[in-house]
Chains A and B, each alone.
Chain A
């Protein structure tokens, strides 16, 4: 498996700021665990484990964008739409921790930074946008697909700006912040569009086959009635 790291490495952001974000990540994840238990109760470990394995597996599937350039899905917004913000954040964090320990992707001291950006900021922005958009857009597979596309782009860009914020607080080199911010946003808008297109198609596929599994649609689901069956029998 050929991979290159795109997670923050050691030494890019200084020690104290890394430590602050590590504490922030631990506190936020503790809240996620509590809320995820409400969603899944004792099913949490096996279900979240399988969803995390899905995110991990999806990140291993490379798709050729141009000859010589291939990309893969990040899966944060996808996870949030399918399994909800709490379980989603938990799964993305687990993937990041395992990638750090088993695959040396992302620095050990930068784990708090990476979790904050990708598992917390990215998923939070994605989910808030999904909730807001689904108020206006039709609750059909098409509406959901559009939502997924927009939310993915915003989520990826917000996560990249999380890095800019961390760099502004504890960057180890004095660089022009607007330049970093602009570069990161530019690159990530492109990544986000690719991510969004795939996430949208994926969500539409799932919504057509098992709409009951899509967390973002759960609030709009009509409770099942059994009275219709056998009324005239």
Chain B
């Protein structure tokens, strides 16, 4: 049973990237990803430049390359899709090692691989350097509607509680000598999902009543509102600015 305050992708480090305010990091990653996605796929050098930028951020954030590589395997289904594209694509075809490949499909595969990987790496760096609570705080400061940040706060706060509830139900079932693990035993699994919903909903009702009895009126008190200083915005803006620079250089060059 964890303390429930870290998420699986967070990496505790003392680094300049970790110290940046969450809202500037979210904004920087979002801008970076947008620029990457709108870059034409044939600007191969631009993508190499972006990768170098992310490598610099990873070094600054003291996130090991192996850690990133392991987590980036989340992308694997899309890499498989990318591999299929040169065979399934249409239009002009070239012969390579006896295989007939579609040029458009090859470009498409590169497009998904490059943009997908850069996007996943940027998101991983954000998640690694920001705690769960800080991410929500950052969204709040970026004027994300309070309804969402509140729902997300409750969700993350109770996620571990519910996961533990599910684990306890499983242990209870095992200690009664039943271990459903095959398709035809799916009923026991589904019934426990139903039980989990009842526990979650009833817990929600109890949490709400506890909040009302402590004076809740429908809005949560705002968290401390010390906004990020301009220097942090400038520091974080280096990433999207350099990315835009590379994109521009590639487009003009």
Q: Is B14 positioned at the interface, with any CB of A under 8 Å from its CB?
A: no
Q: Is A128 an interface residue (CB 8 A)?
A: no
| B120 near A102: Cβ-Cβ < 8 Å | no
Residue count of chain B within 8 Å CB distance of chain A = 90
Which residues of B are found within 8 Å of A56, using beta-carbon distances?
155, 159, 162
Asked if A175 contacts B194 (CB within 8 A), the reply is no
Question: Could you tell me if A15 and B37 are in contact, using CB atoms closer than 8 angstroms?
Answer: yes
CA distance A91 to B201 in the complex (A): 13
B166 contacts A12, C-beta separation under 8 Å: no
Interface bits A48-65 vs B (CB < 8 Å: 1, else 0): 111111101110110111
State whether B120 touches A94 (Cβ < 8 A): no
Partner of B194, one of A5, A94, A204: A204
B200 x A108 contact (CB < 8 A): no
Residue among A49, A61, A93, A172 with the highest chain B CB neighbour number at 10 A: A49
Which residues of chain B are near A82, meaning CB under 8 Å? 197, 201
A9 adjacent to B148 (CB under 8 Å): no
B186 at the interface (CB under 8 A from A): yes
For residue A104, CB closer than 8 A to chain B, the reply is yes
Residue interface bits A192-221, CB-to-B below 8 A is 1, else 0: 000001111111111001100100000000
Task: Note all chain A residues with C-beta closer than 8 A to B205.
Answer: 47
A30–B236 Cα distance when bound, in Å, is 30
CB–CB B183/A66 < 8 A: yes
Q: Provide the residues of chain A in CB contact with B71, threshold 8 Å.
A: 104
A11 in contact with B115 (CB, 8 Å): yes
Q: Tell me, yes or no, whether B34 is within 8 Å of chain A by CB.
A: yes
Residues on A with beta carbons closer than 8 Å to the beta carbon of B38: 15
Are A173 and B154 closer than 8 Å at their CB atoms? no
Contacting residue for B189 out of A42, A90, A173, A198, CB 8 A: A198
A1 at the interface (CB under 8 A from B): yes
Chain B residue contacts of A210, Cβ below 8 A? 198, 201
A contact face: mostly helix, strand, loop, or mixed? helix
Interface centre among B91, B122, B153, B186 (most CB of A within 10 A): B186
Interface set, chain A 87-131, CB cutoff 8 A to B: 90-91, 93-95, 97-98, 100-105, 107-109
Which residue from chain B places its CB closest to the CB of A15 in the assembled complex? B38
Contact with A along B20-61 (1 / 0, CB 8 A): 000000100110011011100100000000000000000000
Residue of A nearest to B116 (CB): A9
Partner of A42, one of B78, B105, B118, B216: B216
Report how far A21 CA is from B204 CA in the complex, Å: 32
Q: Is B239 an interface residue (CB 8 A)?
A: no
* Min CB–CB distance B212 → chain A (angstroms): 8
Asked if A206 and B89 sit within 8 Å, CB to CB, the answer is no
A173 B104 Cβ-Cβ under 8 A: yes
Residues of A within 8 A of B8 (CB): 1, 103
Tell me the residues in window 184-206 of chain B with beta carbons closer than 8 Å to chain A beta carbons: 186-187, 189-191, 193-198, 200-201, 203-205
B135 touches A101 (CB 8 A): yes
Cα of A54 to Cα of B158 in the assembled complex, Å? 9
Question: Which of chain B's residues have a CB closer than 8 A to the CB of A97?
Answer: 148, 152
* Alpha-carbon gap, A210 to B30, bound state (A): 43
Report chain B residues within 8 Å CB of A14: 37
* Contact residues, B110-132 vs A (CB, 8 A): 111-112, 114-116, 118-120, 122-124, 126-127, 132
Chain B, Cβ-Cβ closest to A175: B88
B contact residues around A50 at 8 Å (CB):
154-155, 158, 162, 200-201, 203-204, 207
Task: Establish whether residues A205 and B191, one from each chain, have CB atoms under 8 Å apart when the complex forms.
Answer: yes
Question: Can you list the 10 inter-chain pairs with the closest CB atoms, starting with the nearest?
Answer: A49-B154, A11-B115, A173-B108, A205-B194, A201-B190, A50-B204, A10-B119, A42-B218, A104-B123, A45-B150
Q: Which residues of B contact A (CB under 8 A)?
A: 7-9, 26, 29-30, 33-34, 36-38, 41, 71, 73-78, 81, 85, 88-91, 104-105, 107-109, 111-112, 114-116, 118-120, 122-124, 126-127, 132, 135, 139, 145, 147-148, 150-159, 161-163, 165-166, 181-183, 186-187, 189-191, 193-198, 200-201, 203-205, 207-208, 211, 216-218, 220
